[in-house]
């Protein structure tokens, strides 16, 4: 299932080492703080500052007065949690909301989950592995941002090649022999038309075995 429009909160690991959270908050306050973080995600950072509503919303087994005390204590302890008037209502907000939640309404997830079917991903991986073998002798260590670029390039190449992976692998081998400076899979996409033209020539057929495409 693609991770599209998933709303989540990031529970920063630093919170678990924060003396304020560990030593100064009791169990009730720790739970309330995490629930308020969740509510920020559900309300686009405009949670009702209403202890009675909060108690009912999460079916909490404690008095409304205790929740109210917790709110004021947490606000003092964590300055990024604050009160504000919004549309004539009192709300609770987090000033670091954008860092704690994914952009609402935008697709989120790994590039392989966003860009296509599982079968397409298998073919994309074949292309990336071949690229790595030819250019880096299987020694490259790609970052997550590299993979995102590679998957986008593979998707574009798939469209160009009508999902013919063998033809794409052949193109990767051809591009590797052209002497381009720091070529990538994006280069293969940009030079696709040149590759197709060369592929029909006699000189290409004579050199094909040297492209070493498995």
Task: Read off the tokens for 88.
Answer: 């004539």
Element (H, E) at 47: strand 47-48
- Per-residue pLDDT tens over the stretch 121-140: 778 888 888 888 888 887 76
Q: Do 69 and 126 sit in the same domain of this protein?
A: no
With respect to residue 7, please indicate whether it lies within any of the assigned structural domains: no
Which of 79, 100, 121 is the endpoint of a domain? 100
Q: What is the predicted pLDDT for the residue at 158?
A: 86
The CATH number that applies at residue 25 is 1.10.10
3-state helix, strand, coil split of the chain in percent (to 5) is 60, 5, 30
CA distance 110 to 114: 6
Dist CA 17 CA 21 (whole Å): 8
Task: Give the CA distances from residue 142 to residues 100, 135, 138, 145, in Å, rounded to whole numbers and listed in that order.
Answer: 26, 13, 11, 8
Are residue 72 and residue 163 in the same domain, yes or no?
A: no
Do 90 and 124 fall into the same domain?
A: no
Domain contains 90: yes
- What are 107's two structure tokens? 């697709």
pLDDT for the residue 214: 43
Name the residue range of residue 118's domain: 111-211
Q: Enter the pTM of the model.
A: 0.47
What pLDDT was estimated at residue 150?
85
Q: Which among 72, 100, 128 is the end of a domain?
A: 100
45 and 119 co-located in one domain? no
Cα separation values, 20 from 71, 82, 187, 188, Å = 14, 16, 51, 53
Q: Is position 152 within any domain?
A: yes
> Would residue 196 count as lying in a domain?
yes
What pLDDT, on the 0 to 100 scale, is given for residue 114?
Answer: 46
Q: Write the pLDDT tens digit of every residue in 65-97.
A: 999 999 999 999 888 899 988 878 899 998 888
Please indicate, yes or no, whether residues 80 and 166 belong to a single structural domain of this protein.
Answer: no
Query: What are the residue ranges in the chain where pLDDT is below 50?
Result: 1-4, 107-108, 111-115, 207, 210-214
Of 76, 100, 124, the residue at which a domain comes to its end is 100
Does 105 map to a domain? no
Short-list 44, 52, 57, 38, CA closest to 87: 44
């Amino acid at each position: 299932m693609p991770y599209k429009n998933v709303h989540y909160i990031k529970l920063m690991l630093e919170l678990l080492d924060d003396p304020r959270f560990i030593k100064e908050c009791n169990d009730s306050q720790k739970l309330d703080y995490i629930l308020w973080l969740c509510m920020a995600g559900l309300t686009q950072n405009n949670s009702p500052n209403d202890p009675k509503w909060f108690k009912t919303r999460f079916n909490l087994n404690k008095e409304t007065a205790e929740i109210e005390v917790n709110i004021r204590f947490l606000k003092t302890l964590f300055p990024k949690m604050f009160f504000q008037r919004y549309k004539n209502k009192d709300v609770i907000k987090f000033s670091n909301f954008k860092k704690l939640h994914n952009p609402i309404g935008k697709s989120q997830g790994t590039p392989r989950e966003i860009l296509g079917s599982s079968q397409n991903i298998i073919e994309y991986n074949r292309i990336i592995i071949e690229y790595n073998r030819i250019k880096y002798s299987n020694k490259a260590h790609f970052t997550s941002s590299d993979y995102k670029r590679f998957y986008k390039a593979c998707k574009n190449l798939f469209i160009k090649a009508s999902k013919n992976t063998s033809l794409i692998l052949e193109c990767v081998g051809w591009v590797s022999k052209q002497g381009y400076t720091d070529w990538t899979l994006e280069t293969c996409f940009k030079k696709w038309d040149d590759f197709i033209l060369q592929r029909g020539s006699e000189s290409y057929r004579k050199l094909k075995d040297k492209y070493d495409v498995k």
